Amino acid sequence: MSANNLRNGLLDRRRFLGDAGLGLGAIALTHLLSRQGLLGASVGGMEPIRPSIDPGRPYAPRTPHFAPKAKNVLVIFCSGACSQLDTFDFKPELIRRHGQPMPGAGKLITFQGEQGALTRSPWEFRPRGQSGKMVSDLLPHLGALADDLCFLHGMKGKTNTHGPGENFMSTGSTLDGFPSLGAWLTYALGSEDQSLPSYVAIPDPRGKPQNSVNNWSPGFLPAAYQGTEFNATTPIRNLARPDGITADMDAATRAFLRRQNERHAQAFPGDSQLAARISSYELAARMQLTVPEVADLAGEPEHILRLYGANESGSKIQDLRAAYARNCILARRLVERGVRFVQLFNGAYQTGGEGVSNWDGHKDLLNQYSVHGPVLDKPTAGLLIDLKQRGLLEETLVVWCTEFGRMPTFQKGSQGRDHNPDGFTCWLAGAGVKAGFTYGATDEFGHKAVQEVTTVYDLHATILHLLGLDHERLTFYHNGLERRLTDVHGEVIRPILAR
């Protein structure tokens, strides 16, 4: 904004909103601070890249550090710790030694205590697709897509407790209060679509995940970068025009508010905070139109509903599956509209007992997973197929994850598996990663990651890399440190990158 404009009294509104705070202010600020040496130091010799953000336009698209392979990310998070041994990590030795004690596990104490015998999965594994990847009968629809998936079997976590585990996977720290992956991405890249939130978290139909909103927290980043929470049944809070307010009155009030704010802003030419608040009401008004439209699945044709299993009902599993399937369709619609980061949850906080509402199969794995498997399988597979047939997988990175794995033994005196952060499986699909590829392995029983071991930091570094971001240089100054998503860890998992 030029000084001339500033002196001209009431400005053309669009220009005022468009360029307030740009240019002059930001440049002068940097200049004075650097001249006086008042800016914080760099990170270990490497210059941090802090995106330059105009407070008036926090969601403006920003350029990545280098050419990206993916534009959007869709994370599918199975809350409760989904067992690798009953899904994707096939271990013949576990079948052979079924019922025997696990060598060296005599004194092993895991989260809930002592170990029983090695226990094979109740579900058979079969070769799938061209690649012949072994996937269990628990997830036949996802198994059928094995040729599109890139498996990480050597994942290793840091904690065996759900809350810290979800934090770790979603924010890179086991503690509460750190920014989530999606917040970092939105902070770094802004949004393609200015009329939708750039970061959407879709909780499971049964409720929020175990560490709740911390999974999509802005942490110490500005609140602008938090995930906006809604799903196919629960809309964004306060999005709708309130009851008792007519559309006319609503528009008139908005207009009056704008006039009042502009009269006030005349005395403060160029104050970007004031301009930002004015424009935030306009963005809110646009969201009021676009979000219900994107969340309205009524226009989805029958064959699409069928693909996801969204039109089934009757049994408990079918009802639940249909509800999750509608969330999957919503996820696709958001990705289609260019939402930068979509976080889709399967599994909710613990309610009704351990492992009932999520993948925490300590005591009754067979019966509980017999619900969770079918609920996850068809809709998630439908989502992948749909993304692919629309060409969206070419620019979208899909990440399937869970907070940690489970033990190859059953717990002593119990019919389920205890927590196991030492080896678990995640998979990726879509933009920038190899398809039909497997990287990393656990030991012969599926207990510990032993080969091509990858950490949550590595996974995060890889996701940032695919979005064109250097995880070592994307920083935000907080409380004495140039903070990174990956702390001081993480390496891009180069062998899984597509050429």
Q: Which of residues 43-72 bind another protein (CB under 8 A)?
A: 44, 55-56, 58
Query: DSSP secondary structure string, 287-313?
Result: HHHHHHHHH-GGGS-HHHHHHHTTT--
Interface residue with another protein among 107, 238, 247, 314 (CB under 8 A) is 238
Antiparallel, parallel or unpaired: β 409-411 and 115-118: antiparallel
The least CB distance from residue 117 to another protein, in Å, is: 19
Residue 428 near residue 74, CB atoms below 8 Å: no
By CB under 8 A, residue 148 contacts another protein: no
Stretch that binds another protein, among 37-45, 310-318, 437-445, 446-454 (CB under 8 A): 37-45
Least separation, in Å, of the C-beta of 264 and another protein?
5
The contact mask relative to another protein for 179-198 (x = CB under 8 A, - = no) is ------------------x-
Q: Are 151 and 427 in contact (CB under 8 A)?
A: yes
Q: Which stretch binds another protein (CB under 8 A): 248-256, 326-334, 337-345, 369-377?
A: 248-256
By CB under 8 A, is residue 113 in contact with another protein? yes
Task: State yes or no: residue 111 binds another protein (CB under 8 A).
Answer: yes
Q: How far apart are CA 69 and CA 420, in angstroms?
A: 32
Measured CA to CA, the distance from residue 67 to residue 471 in angstroms comes to 14
Please report, for residues 18, 109, 279, the alpha-carbon distance to residue 272 in angstroms, rounded to integers and kept in the order given: 10, 57, 10
Q: Which is nearer to another protein, 284 or 498 (CB)?
A: 284
Write down the least CB distance from residue 118 to another protein, Å: 19
288 versus 414: smaller Cβ distance to another protein? 288
In the beta sheet, which residues pair with residue 427? 151, 400
Q: Specify the residue, 241 or 390, whose C-beta has the smaller distance to another protein.
A: 241
Using CB under 8 A as the binding rule, whether residue 435 contacts another protein is answered as no
* Residue of the chain from 3, 10, 289, 498 that contacts another protein (CB under 8 A): 3
Cα 147 from Cα 495, distance rounded (Å) = 17
CA 57 – CA 193 distance, rounded (Å): 12
Q: How far is the CB of 201 from another protein (least distance, A)?
A: 13
Applying CB under 8 A, among 131, 288, 290, 367 the residue interacting with another protein is 288
Is residue 207 within the footprint of another protein (CB under 8 A)? yes
Out of 91, 97, 156, 162, the only residue in the binding site for another protein (CB under 8 A) is: 162
Give the E-state strand segments of 191-251 in sequence order.
199-202, 228-229
The interface mask with another protein, positions 389-428, x = CB under 8 A, is ----------------------------------------
Q: Which stretch binds another protein (CB under 8 A): 68-76, 121-129, 283-291, 374-382?
A: 283-291
Cβ atoms of 355 and 80 closer than 8 Å: yes
Report the distance separating Cα 466 and Cα 496, nearest Å.
11
Backbone angles phi, psi at 120, to 5 degrees: -70, 160
Geometric angle at alpha carbon 67, from 290 and 433, rounded to 5°: 85
- H/E segment holding residue 259: helix 247-265
Strands 419-420, 437-439: pairing kind: unpaired
Please work out, in degrees rounded to the nearest 5, the angle formed at the alpha carbon of residue 113 by the alpha carbons of 112 and 117.
110
Apex 82 CA angle, 384 and 116, nearest 5? 150
317 scored as a contact of another protein (CB under 8 A):
no
Contact with another protein (CB under 8 A) among 271, 319, 394, 443: 271
Indicate which single residue of 67, 223, 247, 298 sits in contact with another protein (rule: CB under 8 A).
223
Least distance from another protein to the Cβ atom of residue 335, Å: 20
Q: Which two tokens stand for residue 494?
A: 């180069």
Chain positions 342 to 361 lying near another protein, rule: CB under 8 A, are 349-351
Residue 242 or 301: which CB sits closer to another protein?
Answer: 242
Which residue among 86, 89, 148, 166 contacts another protein (CB under 8 A)?
A: 166
- Residue closest to 72 by CA, chosen among 387, 401, 380, 338: 338
C-beta of residue 154 within 8 angstroms of C-beta of residue 439 = yes
Residues 6-25 that bind another protein (CB under 8 A): 6-7, 24-25
Q: Are strands 199-202 and 441-442 parallel, antiparallel or unpaired?
A: unpaired
Q: Which stretch binds another protein (CB under 8 A): 90-98, 278-286, 327-335, 380-388?
A: 278-286
| Residues 326-345 interacting with another protein (rule: CB under 8 A) | none
Q: How far apart are CA 317 and CA 373, in angstroms?
A: 10
CA 437 to chain CA centroid, nearest Å: 22
Span 455-494, contacts to another protein by CB under 8 A: 477, 479-482
Cα 247–chain centre separation? 35
Q: Does 211 bind another protein (CB under 8 A)?
A: yes
Number of shown-chain residues binding another protein (CB under 8 A): 101
Residue number with CB closer to another protein (18 or 122):
18
Q: Residue from 15, 264, 390, 412 that binds another protein (CB under 8 A)? A: 264
